[in-house]
């Protein structure tokens, strides 16, 4: 089968890889219907995170089960399934508390931008849809593998609710999904920080009440002007750079909370947060814990997070899928590994 392999920064190739097999009784093998490129994949693509050897890449997918191990009971061949980027058993002490991103038996994928994929801990990881979903829902279902769950995690971590003002730092796919999450969780004021027209449009479609195009001190002043001069109750930091964290620290009110889901690079200025009684909570998303509710919202057409995809390519054009996101020509790239079959 074919899949994407990163060889070096800027060098992602479509190449032949070994056919995945059921190796453990708890495994499933799925045929991938759709996969996508994550902002976090770009850390290696841009050479910020190291690439020491050719490595299969990608951690977001949905598709159809082809085979299951003897111990798998919750899904069967023919089921359409989605799973989070962090495989989990969904039964250990951590998972039972909803901390599925930190499953005590956590496993990993071997590159999801591929025609087929071995899913470890299939019973815990995968959620099946009732029957085959409508084709137009597939992009939204795919977002539940990471980006929508991560946006949701930012909002939940920051304590977003019906009485909160929210500012979102980052207009990538995660930031846009965080806007959608904050709106769904009932926040009456949701401020999206973006200076790109296409991304502003998606934020508005997701329910953002305000757009702030300014950055740095001007951006902070604009948010204060919308929040009685004190800043937002909840700031969702969806980038991970030091610059974004400083923007979040400036935009949050005293006693407010920052939901942190951008993979942190650089220092976290703890002292700065201490003197303003600012809370910080976040990390990798508990996808499995959020999946059933978010899948219901997608299947009932209550939310349409698939709007974050503005480029769709066959998997064979994976190099362009990365390049378009790297140069910000695309918000997020969806790839079809089995375009001729589906």
- Closer residue to Zn ion in complex, CB, 84/133: 84
Pairing mode, if any, of strands 28-36 and 11-16?
unpaired
Residue 277 burial class via C-beta count within 10 angstroms: exposed 0-12, middle 13-18, buried 19 and up? exposed
- Closer residue to Zn ion in complex, CB, 108/301: 108
In Å, how far from its chain's centre is CA 295?
A: 14
- Closer residue to Zn ion in complex, CB, 95/148: 95
Residue 99 in contact with Zn ion, rule: CB under 5 A: no
Q: How far apart are CA 234 and CA 171, in angstroms?
A: 16
Q: Quick check: helix, strand or coil at residue 104?
A: coil
Residue 92 burial class via C-beta count within 10 angstroms: exposed 0-12, middle 13-18, buried 19 and up? middle
Residue 88 in contact with Zn ion, rule: CB under 5 A: yes
Q: Quick check: helix, strand or coil at residue 41?
A: helix
- Which residue stretch of 32-40, 93-101, 130-138, 195-203 sits at the interface with Zn ion (rule: CB under 5 A)? 93-101
Q: Are 203 and 177 in contact (CB under 8 A)?
A: no
- Closer residue to Zn ion in complex, CB, 95/117: 95
Both tokens of 318, joined, read 């994976």
Minimum separation from the CB atom of position 125 to Zn ion (A): 10
Q: How far apart are CA 191 and CA 235, in angstroms?
A: 9
Residue 107 in contact with Zn ion, rule: CB under 5 A: no
Residue 339 in contact with Zn ion, rule: CB under 5 A: no
Minimum separation from the CB atom of position 287 to Zn ion (A): 12
H or E segment to which residue 222 belongs: helix 216-225
Residue with tokens 């977001």: 60
Residue 121 in contact with Zn ion, rule: CB under 5 A: no
Radius of gyration of the chain (CA): 20
Q: How far apart are CA 214 and CA 221, in angstroms?
A: 9
Minimum separation from the CB atom of position 94 to Zn ion (A): 5
Closest listed residue to residue 263, CA positions, set 185, 341, 172: 172
- Closer residue to Zn ion in complex, CB, 94/212: 94
Choosing from 51, 92, 230, 323, the residue that interacts with Zn ion (CB under 5 A) is 92
If binding means CB under 5 A, how many residues of this protein chain bind Zn ion?
5
- Closer residue to Zn ion in complex, CB, 93/270: 93
Residue 95 in contact with Zn ion, rule: CB under 5 A: yes
Minimum separation from the CB atom of position 298 to Zn ion (A): 24
Choosing from 27, 79, 89, 146, the residue that interacts with Zn ion (CB under 5 A) is 89
Q: 3-state SS of the chain: helix, strand, coil percent to 5? A: 35, 25, 45
- Which residue stretch of 91-99, 171-179, 258-266, 312-320 sits at the interface with Zn ion (rule: CB under 5 A)? 91-99
- Which residue stretch of 34-42, 88-96, 231-239, 321-329 sits at the interface with Zn ion (rule: CB under 5 A)? 88-96
- Closer residue to Zn ion in complex, CB, 57/103: 103
Choosing from 30, 36, 103, 137, the residue that interacts with Zn ion (CB under 5 A) is 103
Residue 123 in contact with Zn ion, rule: CB under 5 A: no
Closest listed residue to residue 39, CA positions, set 53, 54, 55, 58: 58
- Closer residue to Zn ion in complex, CB, 67/92: 92
Note the residues at the interface with Zn ion (CB under 5 A). Answer: 88-89, 92, 95, 103
């Amino acid at each position: 089968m074919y899949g994407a392999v990163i060889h070096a920064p800027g060098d992602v190739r479509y190449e032949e890889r070994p056919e995945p097999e059921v190796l453990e009784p708890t495994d499933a093998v799925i045929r991938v219907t759709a996969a996508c490129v994550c902002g976090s994949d770009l850390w290696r693509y841009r050479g910020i995170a190291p690439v020491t050897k050719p490595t299969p890449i990608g951690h977001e997918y949905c598709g159809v089960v082809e085979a299951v191990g003897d111990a798998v009971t919750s899904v069967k061949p023919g089921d359409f399934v989605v799973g989070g980027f962090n495989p989990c058993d969904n039964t250990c002490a951590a998972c039972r508390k909803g901390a599925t991103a930190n499953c005590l038996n956590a496993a990993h994928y071997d590159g999801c931008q591929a025609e087929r994929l071995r899913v470890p801990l299939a019973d815990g990881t995968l959620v099946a849809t009732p029957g085959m979903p409508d084709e137009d829902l597939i992009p939204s279902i795919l977002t539940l593998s990471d980006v929508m769950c991560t946006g949701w995690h930012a909002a939940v971590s920051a304590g977003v609710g019906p009485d909160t003002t929210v500012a979102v730092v980052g207009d990538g796919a995660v930031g846009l999904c965080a806007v959608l999450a904050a709106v769904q969780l009932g926040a009456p004021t949701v401020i999206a920080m973006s200076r790109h027209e296409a991304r502003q449009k998606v934020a508005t479609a997701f329910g953002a009440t305000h757009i702030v195009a300014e950055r740095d001190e001007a951006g902070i002043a604009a948010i204060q002007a919308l929040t009685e001069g004190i800043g937002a109750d909840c700031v969702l930091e969806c980038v991970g750079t030091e610059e974004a964290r400083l923007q979040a620290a400036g935009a949050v009110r005293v006693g407010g909370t920052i939901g942190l889901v951008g993979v942190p690079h650089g220092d976290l200025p703890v002292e700065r947060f201490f003197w303003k009684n600012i809370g910080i909570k976040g990390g990798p998303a508990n996808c499995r814990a959020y999946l059933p509710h978010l899948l219901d919202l997608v299947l009932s057409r209550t939310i349409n997070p698939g709007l974050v995809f503005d480029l769709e390519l066959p998997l064979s054009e994976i190099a362009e899928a990365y390049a378009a996101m790297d140069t910000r020509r695309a918000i997020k790239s969806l790839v079809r590994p089995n375009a001729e079959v589906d």
